[in-house]
Amino acid sequence: MLYGHLLSLAVCLAAPAAAAPSWANRCTIVPSKGDASDSPAIAEAFTKCADNSEIIFPAGVEYKIYEPLVAKLNNVIIKVQGNLTLPQDIPAMQSLVEAKGGTLTWFQIGGTNVQWIGSSDPHAGWIKSHGQAWWDLNQPGQAGTPNRPHLMQFNVQNGVMKHMKSLKPIGWNFSIKGKNITISDTVIDARSSSSAFPFNTDGFDVGAKDVTITNSNIFNGDDAIAINDGANNVVFKHATIGFETHGMSVGSLGSKVASVADVQNIRFEDVTVKGGLYAARFKSWIGGQGLAKNITWSNIRVDNVTFPIFVTQTYFNQASAGGDRPNNSSVMMEDFTWEHFSGNINTYSPGDGSCTSDPCWYNVGLTNLTHTEAVIIECNTEKSCKNFQTRDIKVHPQSKSESKLICMNAMPDLNPQLGFDCKNGTFASTL
């Protein structure tokens, strides 16, 4: 059932927290009886312990989060030692999302000096969303079941997220907004146990400033991390990503024609990509505008990846309108570096289950594609890409044939350290 009729209790003890004297209160969530929702008790705790507090989900408890939650907190640590489970009534959840205009986030955590600390126990601290049932409902030709909720928005100033775990998310996992946020030891498991594809199971969508994300394990069916408009000073490092991942993406940028995108100072470092469609990816919309600057992918290992390095400035989303937008502007790209790549290209079974069209959305515009391409760079104009650099790219087809290259409009006068001749053919380093 989606709505519980019995309220559970939140025990709020006015006592100093031993580990941190600045916390004045502690709220321990007592679980409900039977199938009643725990959301009311948690909402009460978020109110009573909104300032200078600990909020504790004890170990050994499966909390039922049957209604969405919103918290505005100040100097609060949330300790999740138990597990949190979302409802399994898909039509009721879809009705909630539809009532919100098609967009609903199940957990909205905001405020200042907020920490979400999960459990180091591999069996505890999970958010269980039961997404497999949603994936299995997807109809042929659809890019995801309609009216799916997003899991969490973490919009804080001075935030910490540690040992966050997400099992079978319905769709999008963690939207990161705000400033000065440290995230570590995240596990996201969106691997499908059937032939159904886990559409839109983005790991992190980051539109924040001063963010460091380390030690992630993300297995999903969309971007492991997507850098969104407004992101600045973001580091993603020491990670393993895979399954049907769409890799480490900047974008998509420029989706709103009247908006000017701004993304700067992004670094992806020391990442292993174990299967997936993309590894290092930039995508901006045809007809978009703005600037993406100072972005680096370094020390990236790929295994069975279709497109190791991929840039497009003429992106459109197969699930929405946009293919007929005027091509009259571009999100400018400046100071991009790809260095120290190694591994193999998925030559024998390229692509993934996100394909809902013929040709597949990820092959559109790529004539004579052989799936031996180590690098694909599609600049929209001769002036839209500046100061591109590549170094030490050692990525080879599984077929043992030569690595190929597709390159358009990365002009040598604007990109003197590009590292190869911008043309279609064999990939050969010139540096």
Rounded Cα distance between 182 and 156, Å, is: 11
- By annotation, the residues acting in catalysis are 222, 246
> How far is 280 from 302, CA to CA, in rounded Å?
10
SS3 (DSSP) at 25: strand
Asked if 194 contacts 173 with a C-beta cutoff of 8 angstroms, the reply is no
CB atoms within 10 A of CB 18: 9
- How far apart CA 379 and CA 345 sit, in angstroms, is 22
What is the average pLDDT across 288-307?
Answer: 98
Tokens 């703005």 correspond to what residue?
290
Evaluate if residue 284 carries a pLDDT over 50. Answer: yes
pLDDT at 105 over 70: yes
Q: Which residues contact 425 (CB under 8 A, 6 or more apart)?
A: 404, 405
- Average of per-residue pLDDT across 47-60: 98
Domain parsing of the chain, residue ranges? 10-426
pLDDT average, residue stretch 352-369: 92
Residue 17 has pLDDT above 70, yes or no: no
Q: Average pLDDT in the 224-234 region?
A: 99
pLDDT, average across residues 9-28? 54
**The pLDDT of residue 15 is above 80:** no
- The answer, yes or no, to whether residue 8 has pLDDT greater than 80, is no
Task: Work out the number of other CB atoms within 10 angstroms of the CB of residue 162.
Answer: 17
Tens of pLDDT, residue by residue over 368-385, are 899 999 999 999 999 999
10-426 has CATH 2.160.20.10 classification: yes
pLDDT of residue 365: 87
Tell me the mean pLDDT in the region 399-407.
97
**pLDDT surpassing 50 at residue 18:** no
pLDDT class of 24 with cuts at 50, 70, 90: confident
Q: Give the residue-averaged pLDDT of 83-109.
A: 98
pTM: 0.93
Mean pLDDT value of segment 21-31 = 84
In this predicted structure, what is the pLDDT of residue 258? 87
pLDDT at 431: 83
Phi and psi at residue 42, to the nearest 5°: -70, -40
